[in-house]
Structure 1
Amino acid sequence: MANNFKDVSVEEIKSIMQRSQAAFEAYQLVSAEEKAKFLDAIAEEIEALGDNLLQKASEETNLPLPRLTGERGRTTGQLRMFAEMLREGSWVEASVDTALPDRTPLPRADIRKMLIPLGPVVVFGASNFPFAYSTAGGDTASALGAGCSVVVKAHPAHAETSEMVYQAIKKAIARTNMPEDVFQHVHGTSFESGKTLVQADETAAVGFTGSTVGGLALVKYASERKKPIPVFSEMGSINPVVFLPDTLKQNAADLAAQYAGSITLGMGQFCTNPGLMLAVEGEGLNEFYKHLGQQIEQVKPANMLHAGIHEAYEKKSSAALEQEGVTDVAKTTTSATDIQAEPTVATVDADTFLKNHLLREEVFGPFSLLVKCKDEQQLMQVLKTVSGQLTTTVMGTDADFTAHPKLIQMLPSLTGRVLFNGVPTGVEVCASMVHGGPFPATTDSRFTAVGINAAKRWVRPVCFQNCPDTLLPMALQQANPTNIWRLFNGEWKK
């Protein structure tokens, strides 16, 4: 679909970021409760757009209405989650160590610490999630919740959807009397506009979900600044799945049906798509792959998000299938047309996989490669080779888990989320979720892009020493007027 919006100019970006800085400073005077009402209002205004928003998103992305309905619910749910985070208050990690003037040999000053927002945040909308990772998605919601102003660069693949959500946010700003420029929105297809946004003096941090090439380009722009800033990029992940022997022996057909569904869900256009499967050679594995191939053959092709993603899928999947040693290819038996993707799985032995770096690269779409290993040691070697991941999954029985303690023990060092007996597609929005992982899955494995802890990307700790009580932020005042949990002289107290 054509993008009818004018690209933002370099001069306009300068003005936008200056206004964002001014709005950030005004937003600091807004109470937590008022900020929470603002986030709730954004959710309400998005819902008020009704079916028109869903129809427009479907037109622009080729995503079905049920999927978009669920994603809209996730988006408004995230906003309300951060509103509740603000109301509860302990996310600021307030700690108080009161003065010990009589301590010997050295007395201790009164020392208090909490998290404060960084400043204006630039968010780049994602192509594959027009709601949940775009204009009012997790990056925006968490940054506004953390107390930052936000500038979003709309993804050109769903520019009109982004514009509709922006107008909803503007209504919420007016309804709740927030600083007018606390949220701003721009369009742009050029690399120059993205670079200018990242390198603006006022920009304090950047959020991005997309390709490794795009994410690393933003990191490069940020490093070239006189004052470097953090870039939180969620990038490529092939999300390996390990199938252990006993479960393959007992559940081959059921596992095949489960994973055919996961591989092809949304035509594989999830950052948690299981693009790599691993198992030790054996009869159970052969049976599993036979059933998997049969399942994949029955999946009908469907349109991908846009022509660019389809072209990349065709190129990368073809390149993988052309590699020496890649065999047993199973594809959908229905002919694909236009920008439809052909669901595909294939196998390769571990020796070949370990020698060929191209086979470790993400193929974004309904594609997965099964690596056949000689033994557990070789399987672990393959896992160590595929670098940092958003998810790693283990499918096994209790007997399997008991028999492979070394394998289970190594998994947390490789990934942000370890799953047992499930599929990686689908990310629950909750306090315990981690949607991140070691490089190259993300640029900073210490943080998550989902859940209330996503707000921690946009803050930094500040210490107040011997500060008069009346000058302290409310979260650190002696009487604790906001009634939040604090670490007070080493004990958690209200």
Structure 2
Amino acid sequence: MTTTTDQLEQVMAAAAAAAPVWARSTAAERASWLRAAADALDAAADELVPIADRETRLGETRLRGEVGRTTGQLRLFASVVEEGSYLEIIVDDADATAVPPRPELRRMLVPVGPVAVFSASNFPFAFSVAGGDTASALASGAPVVVKAHSGHPELSRRTAEIVAAALEAAGAPAGSLQLVEGREAGNALVQHPAIKAAGFTGSLSGGRALFDLASGRPDPIPFYGELGSVNPVVVTPAAVAARGAELAAGLTGSFTLGVGQFCTKPGVVFVPADAGFEASVAALVPGTTGGPLLTDRITAAFPDGIAHLEADPSVEVIANGTAPDGGAAPIVLATDAAAVTARPETLLEECFGPVTLLVRYSSEDELNAALRVVPGSLTATLHSEPGDDVTGILELLQARAGRVLFAGWPTGVAVTWSQQHGGPWPATTSLHTSVGATAIRRFLRPVAYQSAPQHLLPAPLRDEALPSLPHRRNNTLHLP
């Protein structure tokens, strides 16, 4: 099913009409709308999960957990709206004695307007129609138009129907959440003058194409794309000596989780040469089982990605797992740091699926040279021991990632106030997170009101509202 030009115009007219209602909504109203959507999705889980499993083959257990994550995100953003600090309210009272004299200024963040959201294939609930981009955009006070992912069209339609109906039943305007389908409709959506920002999770090529369209508009708009990430890991010699078997098991579990289809999969792991870590991993991988990948396109791309890596003369296969007929089998490859430094465009290209590349290093200088060519990533992980001097390594890692781990593995992203799910290009196209409470900041813009009468100010900026909201007044922070 493809959305026609006429249908898209109808969708955009409804979104434009809904935008002022969302922008004027009170915190209590907006929070109630978000919770209504969450309740409706929870109530429909028994219907939606089988559809999702049929289209994505991710399994009931994983998908039910993802429904919970999705509804939890909606409820988190309801609490964000009620708490109010996201508005970043600042008041400077007039001061005739200042040099120069200062007028009264009141500043806050306001919604940008209708937002386009492009669904991801690998999280059919949490990064799809009602996922984090949609939840944060609605929380900001913006209606949303979702471009459905072709990998789960039936689920996308049904989810959109359920959420749109729940929003309207709770009092939100018609046009609050709508769906379009087809590549042409997606391209037209990000270029439509009614759209004021876009969120995207997907491939580097697809995201870059949409980013260019958004930037090339007569009125360019912010495009918040999550694209590609190799998520580097560094393991020190002391860490291998202290807990090598534990680390090998953790890596094996992480890169095979979800058949390697997590955006935070550890794709490149720097390990000390001749420390025995490779052997520990090689002993575990034959006992792992892969499975079917999400779409035919991803299925076809996986062996091509492996072949691209294996074509480099430095690369060797360390171990293989197994997979059902037609599925992707886990595989571990190995190379050396000098090869990575020389050919990063070949060896550091993301390969979506159950594969990881071990990179042997013989000295810290060799490791650091290789780390300097690692592209921007969502995460970076450092496994070291208390006696290690890792200051230089840490500086290189944190320059390349939005989240730095010192224990555990990067697969698994907590939805919290403090989360940062984003990193330097090509991980994302911006400095913002797409997961967690501060994701709302993407769809807000600041406006300052100078010498405005109280009755013409937005309600949160009026004196009567300030005591109940976090705000800064005359350089002093006030909490309710």
TM-score range, shorter chain: over 0.9
Tell me how far apart the structure 1 counterparts of residues 442 and 348 of structure 2 sit (CA, whole Å).
29
Does 2:142 correspond to 1:148?
yes
Q: Which residue matches 2:192?
A: 200
Q: Is the 8 A contact 1:474 1:482 kept in 2?
A: no
Tell me how far apart the structure 2 counterparts of residues 129 and 292 of structure 1 sit (CA, whole Å).
28
Runs of 4+ in 1 over 3 A off after TM superposition: none
Q: Which residue matches 1:312?
A: 301
Give RMSD over aligned pairs.
1.2
Tell me how far apart the structure 1 counterparts of residues 289 and 435 of structure 2 sit (CA, whole Å).
31
Q: Which residue matches 1:270?
A: 262
Q: Which residue matches 2:37?
A: 42
Tell me how far apart the structure 2 counterparts of residues 474 and 62 of structure 1 sit (CA, whole Å).
48
Tell me how far apart the structure 2 counterparts of residues 355 and 312 of structure 1 sit (CA, whole Å).
25
* Amino acid in structure 2 at the alignment position of 1:20: A
* Amino acid in structure 2 at the alignment position of 1:327: E
Which shifted more, 405-414 or 310-319? 405-414
What is the SS of the residue equivalent to 1:232?
Answer: strand
The gaps in structure 2 that reach 5 residues or longer are none
Tell me how far apart the structure 2 counterparts of residues 246 and 117 of structure 1 sit (CA, whole Å).
50
The structural deviation recorded for 1:423 is 0.1
* Amino acid in structure 2 at the alignment position of 1:438: P
- In the TM superposition, what are the counterparts of 1:317-396 in structure 2 within 5 Å? 317-332=306-321, 334=322, 336-338=324-326, 340-356=327-343, 357-396=345-384
Q: Is the 8 A contact 2:14 2:174 kept in 1?
A: no
* Amino acid in structure 1 at the alignment position of 2:360: K
Q: Is the 8 A contact 1:123 1:151 kept in 2?
A: yes
Aligned pair count reads: 478
* Amino acid in structure 1 at the alignment position of 2:299: H
The structural deviation recorded for 1:328 is 4.1
Q: Normalized against structure 1, the TM-score is what?
A: 0.95
What is the SS of the residue equivalent to 2:24?
Answer: coil
* Amino acid in structure 2 at the alignment position of 1:377: D
Tell me how far apart the structure 1 counterparts of residues 268 and 398 of structure 2 sit (CA, whole Å).
17
Tell me how far apart the structure 2 counterparts of residues 328 and 209 of structure 1 sit (CA, whole Å).
30
Given the alignment, which residue of 87, 94, 100 partners 1:99?
A: 94
- In the TM superposition, what are the counterparts of 1:5-404 in structure 2 within 5 Å? 6-103=1-98, 105-188=99-182, 190=183, 192-282=184-274, 284=275, 287-332=276-321, 334=322, 336-338=324-326, 340-356=327-343, 357-400=345-388, 403-404=389-390
Deviations 1:414-440, CA, capped at 9 Å, x for gaps: 110000021000000000000000011
The structural deviation recorded for 1:329 is 2.8
Q: Is the 8 A contact 1:43 1:80 kept in 2?
A: yes
Q: Is the 8 A contact 1:387 1:414 kept in 2?
A: yes
Q: Is the 8 A contact 1:240 1:277 kept in 2?
A: yes
Which shifted more, 214-223 or 130-139? 214-223
The structural deviation recorded for 1:85 is 0.7
Q: Normalized against structure 2, the TM-score is what?
A: 0.97
The structural deviation recorded for 1:172 is 1.1
Which shifted more, 357-366 or 475-484? 475-484
Q: Is the 8 A contact 2:290 2:354 kept in 1?
A: no
* Amino acid in structure 1 at the alignment position of 2:294: L
Tell me how far apart the structure 1 counterparts of residues 259 and 42 of structure 2 sit (CA, whole Å).
27
Deviations 1:232-286, CA, capped at 9 Å, x for gaps: 000100001000111101211111111100010000000000000002323x2xx
* Amino acid in structure 1 at the alignment position of 2:54: E
